[in-house]
Amino acid sequence: AQKITQTQPGMFVQEKEAVTLDCTYDTSDQSYGLFWYKQPSSGEMIFLIYQGSYDEQNATEGRYSLNFQKARKSANLVISASQLGDSAMYFCAMSENSGGGADGLTFGKGTHLIIQP
Amino acid sequence: SQTIHQWPATLVQPVGSPLSLECTVEGTSNPNLYWYRQAAGRGLQLLFYSVGIGQISSEVPQNLSASRPQDRQFILSSKKLLLSDSGFYLCAWSSGSNQPQHFGDGTRLSIL
């Protein structure tokens, strides 16, 4: 079973509208982290936002917020007031503590977001 | 501030040739280091991670190896490249488990 599921392969959104990118995860760990990354066409992976499993409040970073619903194992990214520069691939990722070491991230397959003027 | 450098940016290699990709981190000590590969249009797959000098963990059996000869240096190698080794390789660092990972600009590797 996939550990990270992103059900939206592509999305078209009008500029200045809010965007919600879906992400559900699967883990049996109590301690884990959830991340969102942006990958423009140039290829670099840009860290956007992080939510720890024990964090009670939803994470926010500028125009980005993470809608964390632990019981539903959901970690959706919300981008407010979208801009043309937001067009990119967006990846949800998870780290788990079960390995006891520096476990890497497990990534979803991504959502291709296109902002239209 | 911390920076991560990865080179080369692009590389075209013939099948059967060796490979060495280098990644260095500045502005931090004892980082966790990672190598990922991204196939075209897909998410990233973890290849190797390291919590310290000489300590390498492999996630996927493959034609590649990794080494960490210095605290802030991480090298991805192969003795003989296969066609299936083509992809986009990204190095990343973090300050610990469950912490954000910060990526280099990546290397686009094409095998001919």
pLDDT at residue number B40: 79
Task: Determine the 3-state secondary structure of B46 from DSSP.
Answer: strand
pLDDT tens per residue across span A23-47: 999 999 888 999 999 999 999 999 9
Q: Establish if B97 touches chain A: CB-CB under 8 angstroms.
A: yes
- Which residues in chain B are closer than 8 Å to A32, comparing Cβ atoms? 98
Q: What percent of chain B clears pLDDT 90, i.e. is strictly above it?
A: 83
Average the pLDDT over B3-26 and give the result: 96
Q: Looking at residue B83, what DSSP letter applies?
A: G
- Inter-chain contact A45–B34, Cβ cutoff 8 Å? no
pLDDT band, very low/low/confident/very high, at A101 (cuts 50, 70, 90):
low
B60-65 long-range CB contacts below 8 Å, 24 or more apart?
B64/B19
Could you tell me the sign of the dihedral formed by the alpha carbons of A55, A57, A58, A61, in that order? Answer: negative
User: Picking from A43-52, A90-99, B48-57, B65-74, which range would have the lowest pLDDT averaged per residue?
Assistant: A90-99
Question: Before B8, cis peptide (omega within 30)?
Answer: yes
Q: Establish if B1 touches chain A: CB-CB under 8 angstroms.
A: no
Residue A71, number of CB atoms within 10 A of its CB: 5
The DSSP result for A1-16, as a single string, is: --SEE---SEEEEETT
pLDDT at residue number B61: 67
Residue A2 has pLDDT above 90, yes or no: no
CA–CA gap between residue B82 and residue A29 (Å, rounded) = 36
Q: Assess contact for A68 and A56: CB atoms under 8 A.
A: no
Residue A103 has pLDDT above 80, yes or no: no
Residue keyed to tokens 């990709």: B21
pLDDT tens per residue across span B61-99: 678 999 999 999 999 999 999 999 999 999 999 998 778
- Inter-chain contact B32–A102, Cβ cutoff 8 Å? yes
Among B25, B104, B110, residue whose Cα is nearest residue A42 = B104
- Euclidean distance between the first and final Cα of chain A, in Å? 38
